[in-house]
Amino acid sequence: MIAEIGHFALVLALCVALVQAIVPLVGARRGVDSWMAVSGPASTMQFLFIAIAFGALMNAYVTSDFSVMNVAQNSHTEKPMLYKVAGVWGNHEGSLLLWVTILSLFGFAVTLFGRNLPPGLRSRALAVQAMISVGFLLFILLTSNPFARIEPPPIDGSGLNPILQDPGLAFHPPFLYLGYVGFSMAYSFAIAALLEGRVDPAWARWVRPWTLAAWIFLTCGIVLGSWWAYYTLGWGGWWYWDPVENASFMPWLAGTALLHSAVVVEKRDALKSWTILLAIVAFGFSLLGTFLVRSGVLTSVHAFATDPKRGVFVLGLLVLAVGGSFSLYAVRAPAMKMGGLFAPISREGSLLFNNVLMATGAATVLLGTLYPLFADALNLGKVSVGPPFFNAVFLPLMAPMVVVMAVAPMMAWKRGDLAGVLGRLKVVAALALAAAALVWFLQGGSAGPWWTAGGFALAVWLGLGTLVDLGGRIGLLRDPGRALGRALRLPRSSWGMVSAHFGLAVFIVGLTASSAWTIEKIQTQAIGETVQVGDYAVTLKAVETVPGPNYTAARATFDIARDGQSVALMQPEKRQYRMPPRPTTTAAIRSGIAGDLYVVIGDEDIKGGFVTRLYYKPCVLWLWAGGALLVLGGLISLADRRHRIGAPARARVAGVGAKA
């Protein structure tokens, strides 16, 4: 019964979304206030109905109602409660329901917080949001109904893939979707602005925090996914340039570019048409990501949907949304008023340069991901595009971006003084070169890869360059006595920028060191045998069988010694799940600032002993720390008072008070 209520609520939500997509739009065109006002209650109702549907599916999972096919196929009574809840979005139908739930939540948020938006803009944006809702609700109801029943219901479900039963992955999809769908906000407002033919700083003030929020969620989602891959897949890889990963990385790149160009619109009233384009592209990539993952067109390790009917539907949706908005853009954007002037050497100019690099990066990932498909379709032969290609093309594009990243924040708006800025960065440049030389010397010259020196030089340049900029902003050398006071008064968005840029520098250290200097030992190890991994002596002590909640594990115990002193015991497991019956490996990881010791136990060898895989991975913690600093920077920036509703008025009063 509850499942039927959920299904019915989805149909009602579709009806409401149809009304919301049409009536406010016509009202805004004709200037009928009462028609425009429909958008508010409609978005509230839409959210309520979809929330009811989501709750109904959640209920079916929590109570293990196996008469619902979706639950029977993806859940099991023995599964821990966390994974019963996470099971709701661990499958095709449920994850789409999560997608529209989040979409309607954002629409509701516009109604809730957007009271001081111009009514025309708000109702048009909500209508666009509703159009996306209509598309996805139709998709769910016609091809992927999560509430379909099964007769007779099975005694128990078939379970969730055990490698997906992990806290990191339980929260990975919601974060990713909050990011994907969050970009719909920028998209809807971009389309609304095109329809109105006007983009002003007020538009950017509204779009910026929502884009920032989406970006934070997406960053979190990607980092969680990488972290999960690192500790579950059993050999410490964390990025594979897999199509599904690329699907989330493309909107991230476009979103990062959008975030920065929205700053220029808000502060300088320039780059408007470029920002609108990026807003369309960012959400277009989100839709494309959904299409790539959901259609099974690029079957990869984590793509689970393979029904072509669904693929054609999402493709149609994608063509309609992206094609429609690009056409609208082509017609309307040229008429948009040019904003503030600026020279190529200026903060706007350098932001634009990096924007173009990031957009090119996103296009490269797109090209690499789709090229095998095109080549196949056009009979150019079967081509594989894998990590070696992306590393060879994408990374060189990003290197100049990092160089400019240290310079850009120090430039003045409108017209910058490049020589002056470079003068302030002289010491940083010298230190970056010194770091490169030191790294080259420590790794024994060409005994290590050639690019490590470059990676460290970039990291030092960006990290210290960001700190020099911060020092300049608070007058650390000019007037050290008041520096602390100035630091406290610095806008939070500046602190956010410092944190995020510094985070990228930290990330580059982790990326370079862990890719270049991983030590790997793979062997058959007898009980009591010791293997030396870098500075650590790793001894296999015992392997025993241990029961788990829904699996049985073979647990190995390793003794870790350094300089003859035992420092830790590590216990990796090889688990055999009961439902579905699958083995997984759980690595034991000992993290430190210098590096991680990563220990995996494999099969028993017929000749005695066990296959063991022992790794020492330098600076992996720096990757996660860098990701955390990016997210932290986003959060600090989001807390900036200028981003809060009604803040402009208050900020002005506060500014006068401070001067007096």
Partner 1 sequence: MRYSLLASLVLVLAVTSPALAVNPDEMLKDPAQEARARELGKDLRCLVCQNQSIDDSDADLAKDLRIIVRERISAGDTDQQVKTFVVDRYGDYVLLKPPFKASTLVLWLGPFALFGGAVALFARFYRRRKAGAGLPAPAPLSPEEQRRLDSLLKESRQ
Contact residues toward partner 1 (CB under 8 A) are 161, 163, 232-235, 237, 240, 242-243, 298-301, 338, 341, 343-344, 352, 356-357, 359-360, 363-364, 367-368, 371, 375, 380-389, 392-393, 397, 522-524, 582-585, 600, 602, 611, 613
Closest CA to 18 of 109, 135, 123: 135
Closer of 153 and 583 to partner 1 (Cβ): 583
Q: Rounded to the nearest whole angstrom, what is the least distance from the CB of residue 349 to partner 1 in the complex?
A: 8
The rounded distance, in Å, linking the Cα atoms of 263 and 479 is 29
Closer of 42 and 600 to partner 1 (Cβ): 600
Q: Rounded to the nearest whole angstrom, what is the least distance from the CB of residue 455 to partner 1 in the complex?
A: 19
Say if CB 626 and CB 510 are below 8 A apart. Answer: yes
Closer of 467 and 531 to partner 1 (Cβ): 531
Closer of 149 and 582 to partner 1 (Cβ): 582
Closer of 346 and 637 to partner 1 (Cβ): 346
Closer of 271 and 497 to partner 1 (Cβ): 271
DSSP-assigned states of every residue in 551-616: EEEEEEEEEEEETTEEEEEE--EEEEESSS--EEEE-EEE--SSEEEEEEEEEEPTTSSEEEEEEE
243 HSE (CA, 13 A, CB side): 26
599 HSE (CA, 13 A, CB side): 27
The rounded distance, in Å, linking the Cα atoms of 61 and 78 is 12
Q: Rounded to the nearest whole angstrom, what is the least distance from the CB of residue 512 to partner 1 in the complex?
A: 17
Alpha carbon of residue 503 to chain centroid: 15
Q: Rounded to the nearest whole angstrom, what is the least distance from the CB of residue 375 to partner 1 in the complex?
A: 7
Q: Rounded to the nearest whole angstrom, what is the least distance from the CB of residue 18 to partner 1 in the complex?
A: 38
Closer of 390 and 536 to partner 1 (Cβ): 390
The rounded distance, in Å, linking the Cα atoms of 264 and 241 is 31
Q: Rounded to the nearest whole angstrom, what is the least distance from the CB of residue 655 to partner 1 in the complex?
A: 14
Q: Rounded to the nearest whole angstrom, what is the least distance from the CB of residue 600 to partner 1 in the complex?
A: 7
The rounded distance, in Å, linking the Cα atoms of 13 and 109 is 17
Closest CA to 544 of 527, 556, 552: 556
Dihedral sign computed on CA atoms, order 466, 472, 476, 477: positive
The rounded distance, in Å, linking the Cα atoms of 613 and 590 is 14
Q: Which residues contact 103 (CB under 8 A, 6 or more apart)?
A: 129, 132, 133, 136, 181, 184
Q: Rounded to the nearest whole angstrom, what is the least distance from the CB of residue 649 to partner 1 in the complex?
A: 17
What SS3 class is residue 413? coil
Closer of 275 and 584 to partner 1 (Cβ): 584
